[in-house]
Amino acid sequence: MDELALLADADRRAHAYLAATNARRAYPDAAALAGLAAFDEPLPDTGRPADDVLCLLDERGTPATVASNGPNYYGFVIGATLPAAAAAERLMLAWDQCASSFANSPVAATIERQAARWVVDVLGLPEGSAVGFGTSATACTLVALVAARRALLARKGWDVDEDGLIGAPEVKVVISELAHITVKKALRVLGFGMKRLVVAPVDAHGRIDPAQLPPLDDMTILCVQAGEVNTGEFDPFAALIPPAKAAGAWVHVDGAFGLWARASSKRALTDGIDGADSWTTDGHKWLNTPYDGAMVICRDAAALATAMNSDAVYLSGAQDAQKNLNLEFSRRARGIPVWAALRSLGRAGVATMVERHCVQAARVADGLRAAGYDVLNRVVLNQVLVRAGTDDETAAIREAAQASGEVWFGATVWQGRPAFRISVSSWRTEDTHIDRLVALLTELRGVHVR
């Protein structure tokens, strides 16, 4: 089979997959999972035909996919992929660009530069902020923290690039009691010991309590969050960021999904957030771009570009070259699907999608309360935190819902007890899907709660 025929076959199979999106099980059944055993084989001594490879991938792989690109997946704030973003990905694959700099790919550099401007614009962040398009909020948080530590040390006359960290002045980190695990991972990887982190207490909704904010100074990184992973709540930025900045601290915002509230009528939840120094957010969550794609945004463009600089004798680049804003030198142009999503949606479309999901989350909450469930959060965004009767009953309902194949959402723990979390973030999810989710959970409560 020649290359173009093979790609046409792959496209046909992809079309068939998408055509069945609405009917697909939200999570693969036991038979589909058993079929994955077909991939457990020795490395062949001689290569197999490419069409054979594709056939195996589709016939055994497709049934075992999680339908996170569908309308009935409510786990982990995973968005589906917008058509324009998916189409851009397909064309990008044919281009196969190494998107490190303009010299490597003029088209990637140009489009990602435009995407960066649009991201800053739609999120209402300071004009001129640098944007690095990375793999995930985890990686982008790590990048932001590298820039933060380097900048704070430089203010004290310490050149971390030349002198390293041994003997350097200590940089203190203050995090929320409910900081996301990816923020903790980034801090751990950078050598900020978990025992040395200063923890800020939170209120009943999961927000940092300004009255209990630990002391800050000009050698402190304060990490706050937009969209607590269970409740969807926002730290009170207007009360936290001004005193932090007055003390000389660097403020970083973990906004993996919640930062997109700023592009909608929910913007008031983010009041004061533009006073921070850096932000991270995902495209593959609420903007509904393909996996994977995230952004690090830094007010001081030079601070980010200097921290991540990877100019070499054989390839230098502008300050805003993506290789100078990311961990990766060799990279794919993750900003292009972001550009495609934003161009296809426009400012109004982003707002409409975010607002619709928030309304749908409230619809879930209302339906579940009426069915006798305990909704544990205020549902200010797209997260619904739920408990049903006893801990065992809560777990039984979640497991039954997952086993049904109709929907999928995950377990969590809130204030020491099991719960489950429903996240509404797919552009494909319509009110009919929401109503079916509520009906299913109403039915299951009748079976499992006494």
pLDDT tens, position by position, 23-74:
999 999 999 999 999 999 999 999 999 999 999 999 999 999 999 999 999 9
Distances (CA, A) of 102 to 109, 117, 322, 370: 5, 17, 9, 57
From 3.90.180.10, 3.30.70.3400, 3.40.640.10, 3.40.50.720, which CATH number describes the 87-342 domain? Answer: 3.40.640.10
pLDDT at 450 over 80: no
The one-letter amino acid code at 370 reads: A
Q: How confident is the model at residue 87 (pLDDT cuts 50, 70, 90)?
A: very high
pLDDT at 316 over 90: no
226, 137 Cβ separation under 8 angstroms: no
pLDDT at 1 over 80: no
Distance from C-alpha of 364 to C-alpha of 362, rounded to nearest angstrom = 5
pLDDT digits (tens, 9 = 90+) for 140-194: 999 999 999 999 999 999 999 999 999 999 999 999 999 999 999 999 999 999 9
As beta bridge partners, residue 252 has 223, 278
pLDDT digits (tens, 9 = 90+) for 202-228: 999 999 999 999 999 999 999 999 999
Q: How confident is the model at residue 449 (pLDDT cuts 50, 70, 90)?
A: confident
Distance from C-alpha of 224 to C-alpha of 254, rounded to nearest angstrom = 6
φ, ψ dihedrals at 168, nearest 5°: -75, 155
Helix (H) or strand (E) segment spanning residue 350: helix 335-370
- Domain layout of the chain by residue ranges: 3-68, 87-342
Mean pLDDT, residues 264-275 taken together: 98
221, 250 Cβ separation under 8 angstroms: yes
Count CB neighbours of 335 within 10 A: 29
Q: How confident is the model at residue 319 (pLDDT cuts 50, 70, 90)?
A: confident
Q: What share of the chain is helix, strand, coil (3-state, %, to 5)?
A: 50, 15, 40
φ, ψ dihedrals at 272, nearest 5°: 90, -5
Q: How confident is the model at residue 314 (pLDDT cuts 50, 70, 90)?
A: low
What pLDDT is stored for residue 311 in this prediction? 82
CA 79 to chain centre: 9
Task: Tell me the two tokens of residue 111.
Answer: 């489009």
What pLDDT is stored for residue 313 in this prediction? 53
The structure's pTM equals: 0.96
φ, ψ dihedrals at 228, nearest 5°: -60, 140
Distances (CA, A) of 292 to 22, 26, 358, 371: 22, 20, 23, 37
Distance from C-alpha of 364 to C-alpha of 442, rounded to nearest angstrom = 11
Name the DSSP class of 308: T
Task: Tell me the two tokens of residue 97.
Answer: 């660009």
Mean pLDDT, residues 387-407 taken together: 97
pLDDT at 376 over 60: yes
- Of the chain, the percentage scoring pLDDT greater than 90 comes to 96
Name the DSSP class of 415: T
Query: What is the chain's mean pLDDT, rounded?
Result: 97
CA 315 to chain centre: 31
Count CB neighbours of 250 within 10 A: 29
> Strand, coil or helix: what is 436?
helix
Distances (CA, A) of 345 to 107, 113, 342, 354: 21, 18, 5, 11
The one-letter amino acid code at 9 reads: D
> Strand, coil or helix: what is 68?
coil
pLDDT digits (tens, 9 = 90+) for 320-339: 899 999 999 999 999 999 99
pLDDT at 274 over 60: yes
